[in-house]
Amino acid sequence: MRHVISVQVENKSGVLARVAGLFSARGYNIDSLTVGTTERQDVSVMTIVVKGDDKIIEQVKKQLNKLIDVIKISDHLISNSIQRELAILKVSVSPSKRLEVFQLAQMFKAEIADMSQKNMTLSIDSDPESLDKFIELLRPYGIKELIRSGRVSLLRG
Amino acid sequence: MKLKGSQILIESLVKEGVECMFGYPGGVVIPIFHYLYEAPFKFILTRHEQGAVHAADGYARASGKPGVVIATSGPGGTNLITGIANANMDSIPLVVFTGQVSRNMIGNDAFQEADITGITRPITKHNYLVQDIKDLARIIKEAFYIATTGRPGPVLIDIPVDISNSEYKFQYPDKVDIRGYKPVYEGHPNQIKKACSLIESAKKPVAYVGGGVILSDASKELRTFIKKTGIPVTTTLLGMGSFPETDPLSLHMLGMHGTYYANHAVNESDLLIAIGARFDDRVTGDISSFIPEAKVIHIDIDPASVSKNVEVDVPIVGDCKTVLREINKIVKAPSISKWIEHINKMKEEFPLTYDKKSKGIKPQFVVEEIYRLTEGKAVICTEVGQNQMWAAQFFDYTEPRTFISSGGLGTMGFGFPAAIGAQLARPDRRVVDIAGDGSIQMNVQELIVAVEHKLPVIIAILNNGYLGMVRQWQQLFWSKRYSHTSMAFSPNFQKLAEAYGAVGLTVDKKEDVEKAIEKALSVKDRPIVIDFHVDKEENVYPMVPSGKSVKDIIIRELA
Ligand SMILES: Cc1ncc(C[n+]2csc(CCOP(=O)(O)OP(=O)(O)O)c2C)c(N)n1
Ligand SMILES: [Mg+2]
């Protein structure tokens, strides 16, 4: 199962390695990990998206909690949080198909960031599901390059 | 007043009440050693950094105080790794200082540079790289706090040499406030009530006690609990001494080489009360067939240990001492006379034993003689292997902190340096390292340290000419192919001892065992090595083979 774990940590060096180490030591590949600053200067938040057996993820969360530099951990579900991710895609689009892609972009509130003879570069920030869908719809045109930022997430309410 | 970083370090140790420090010098810690010269506590210069960290570990286990270590950068730090990992696995409080190259050189492959905070991250409870002299005193304060509270463990502080040499106003903080670290000591009252009602209605309960009880100094509370409830007690290797093994309710050790009756009692139990234990695989064997019928109460200060390996019915996160105290206030005794009768029958039928009529020296006999001649009052350290298991099986431990052994990591070479630390912590007791001929060679260089400090540690080598425990597995499970487990080529241990200025004795007759131990006990001013030439192919029994269950227990030698 895919888990989104939000970890509040001390904003200092070495913390990222500690957190990542708990996953890598178990042979877990993290799908995405973002680190960002927060409203508090001395606190960062890591948003970790990882696939894994529920029991093992539970154990990893307990181990994360044991880290001295970890302040708080929460599980984020689609239902209880606002989740966003940014992607930039370079798609090869012949002039005749440009309009199609343009319309698709409009529908998903994506932005045309750059354009050349052969390529269109689009940027989109949205909830991860729409983002997945957008990427799927663009695939037939030929995605030459794609980069995703990893998720950020904030609990609702 | 402004002090140099080096002085701040030493003044901080004084504030922490440090009485003894272990270590080894080198380039980037010379500034610190410069002030250690006049420090008001003892400094033990070992002959290898691994010796220093194991000695500090033994000191901590014997005294209950944190062990303090210092080593230089690069190889000094990397030589500490095994010892740090060892302390981490067994939750032993250590504060370890390493020197680091100066800040402007870090990351340049400078001479004797190693990323020691990176290397030790997974084997410490926490570690620090000091980046600013103004943080130094606070970091040391935090390190001692983190090492000794909650589930204890080693904390490492890496200090760049330019920080040692710079100056700052010294003020030792009197409080620690770490928002991400607030260990919970009190158990939840509702959980405690639930546990008590399970205990009262149990028909076949067993208390399964681990090192956590010793770490939290809860031995007295445990004894009260057992007195009130009459529940039989088995301990892990690290739990030995928390409950007197001379008590009729003691089942001795459980697990791979635990007693028949401890393993069977646990397996048949309807309630397992785990106290400061973590369901290690050496205890559970095959986890899927472990305790098929038991409900589980688990008291542990580390939430990550609870429900990690087995499902727990009543988890109680808290300090063993505090929780047991609360339980003792309300718990009522279950009626279990039949259960006790059944257990006593198993004890009679399948006691720990060995061939007592053998002509040669049985290693078990040596351990029994050490027990008898020290009147059970010795502090026993062990190496790893068969020697460790016999030391666990054939000596009845009655007090906490009198059995010191590498549990989680199983580190050969731990016992002797640990014995040095233990002897420093307990000058009132004789310390005996029950050793193997293989293990003792891993840190034998520390003999000179025991000689230098006139420590009368007795090293009892159960010399079987083999890496015995590995040979035992080869014999039982690998068609007796004794691949590279012979120690036929070993030094003359008696002469080796003498070369170091220690007393050396060799014993190859059964009737000389007593005399040799008595002779050793009469020496009070230097270490004594006794080389017992024991039966070569003696095995440790009972044995639950790795990954198997109690059903598969091997009770004695198969003909
Ligand atoms: C540092 C280290 N290396 C290897 C092992 C694996 N090992 C476990 S027991 C053992 C044999 C120990 O031999 P010895 O000290 O003679 O003890 P015996 O079993 O013969 O009593 C070995 C090699 C270990 N535990 N620790
Ligand atoms: Mg041996």
Residues of A in contact with B131 (CB under 8 A): 13
Quick one: A66 and A94 in the same domain?
A: no
- The CA-based diameter of chain B, rounded to the nearest angstrom, is 76
Residues A62 and A88 in one domain: no
Same domain, A103 and A122: yes
Query: Do A64 and A96 belong together in one domain?
Result: no
Number of domains in chain A: 2
- The CATH number linked to A91 is 3.30.70.1150
The residue of chain B with its CA nearest to that of A65 is B180
pTM: 0.96
CATH 3.40.50.970 boundaries in chain B? 2-169, 363-541
- Fold for domain B363-541? Rossmann fold (3.40.50)
| Degrees to nearest 5, angle at CA B522 with B516 and B525 | 115
- Same domain, residue pair A121 and A61: no
Given an 8 Å threshold on Cβ–Cβ distance, is B304 in contact with A63?
Answer: yes
Asked if A48 and A8 sit in the same domain, the reply is yes
* pLDDT score of B534 more than 60: yes
- Identify the three-state secondary structure at position A37: strand
Phi, psi (5° rounding) for residue A80?
Answer: -115, 10
pLDDT over 70 at B7, yes or no: yes
d(CA B5, CA B157): 13
| B residues 295-314 lying closer than 8 A (beta carbon) to A | 302-304, 308
Q: Do A14 and B117 touch (CB under 8 A)?
A: yes
Only one residue has tokens 């230089």, namely: B72
Q: Which of A8, A68, A73 to mutate to test the interface with B (most CBs of B within 10 A)?
A: A68
Write the CA distances from B523 to B285, B518, B519, integer angstroms. 43, 9, 7
CATH number of A28's domain: 3.30.70.260
User: Do B273 and B279 form a contact (C-beta atoms < 8 A)?
Assistant: no
pLDDT over threshold 80, residue B558: no
Q: Single out the residue in A76, A93, A117 at which a domain terminates.
A: A76
Q: What's the mean pLDDT in B511-522?
A: 98
Query: Taking a C-beta distance cutoff of 8 angstroms, is the pair A38, A45 a contact?
Result: yes
Among B51, B37, B41, residue whose Cα is nearest residue B20: B41
pLDDT confidence band for A59 (50 / 70 / 90): confident
pLDDT (mean) for A29-39: 94
- What six digits make up the tokens of B134? 């103004």
Assess whether A31 and A66 both reside in one domain: yes
User: Among A54, A76, A98, where does a domain finish?
Assistant: A76
Question: Ligand 1 center to residue B384 CA distance, Å?
Answer: 5
For residue B11, the model assigns a pLDDT of: 98
pLDDT score, position A27: 84
pLDDT more than 90, % of chain B: 99
> At the topology level of CATH, where does B2-169 sit?
Rossmann fold (3.40.50)
Co-location of A65 and A87 in the same domain: no
Report CA-CA distances (Å) from A148 to A132, B131, B390, B392: 10, 34, 59, 57
DSSP state of A22: H
The pocket of ion ligand 2, defined by CB under 5 A, consists of B 436-438, 464, 466, 468
- Nearest atom within ligand 1 for CA of residue B411: 26
Tell me what ipTM this predicted complex has.
Answer: 0.91
Q: Which residue, among B331, B380, B388, B335, has the nearest Cα to B364 in the 3D structure?
A: B388
| Domain-terminating residue out of A29, A49, A76 | A76
Interface membership of A25 toward B (CB under 8 Å):
yes
What are B436-495's pLDDT values in tens digits?
A: 999 999 999 999 999 999 999 999 999 999 999 999 999 999 999 999 999 999 999 999
Please work out whether the CB of residue B366 comes within 6 Å of at least one atom of ligand 1: no
The ligand whose atoms approach the alpha carbon of B386 most closely is 1
* A68 & A87 share domain: no
Query: What gap in Å lies between CA B215 and CA B545, rounded to an integer?
Result: 29
Residues A62 and A127 in one domain: no
Q: Residue B364 has which token pair?
A: 């078990």
Closest CA to B406 of B384, B436, B428: B384
Report the pLDDT averaged over residues B341-366. 96
Structure confidence at residue A62 as a pLDDT band (50, 70, 90): very high
Ligand 1 atom with the shortest distance to the CA of B472: 19
> Which pLDDT band holds residue B557 (cuts at 50, 70, 90)?
confident
Q: Where in chain B is the domain with CATH 3.40.50.1220?
A: 189-349
Residue-range definition of the domain harbouring residue A110: 81-155
DSSP tag of B116: H
**Which numbered atom of ligand 1 lies nearest the CA of B487?**
16
CA separation for the pair B475, B291 (Å, rounded) = 29
Closest by CA to B206, choosing from B236, B181, B183, is: B236
A24 phi, psi to nearest 5 deg:
-65, -35
Mean pLDDT of the region B78-82:
98
Examine the domain organization and report whether A45 and A67 are in the same domain.
yes
Q: What topology is assigned to B189-349 in CATH?
A: Rossmann fold (3.40.50)
Q: Is B464 in the pocket of ligand 1 (CB under 6 A)?
A: yes
Cβ pair B360, B535 in contact under 8 A: yes
Q: How far is A140 from chain B (nearest CA, A)?
A: 45
Round to whole Å and give the CA distance between B89 and B84.
9
Is B122 an 8 Å CB contact of chain A? yes
Residue A88 and residue A68 share a domain = no
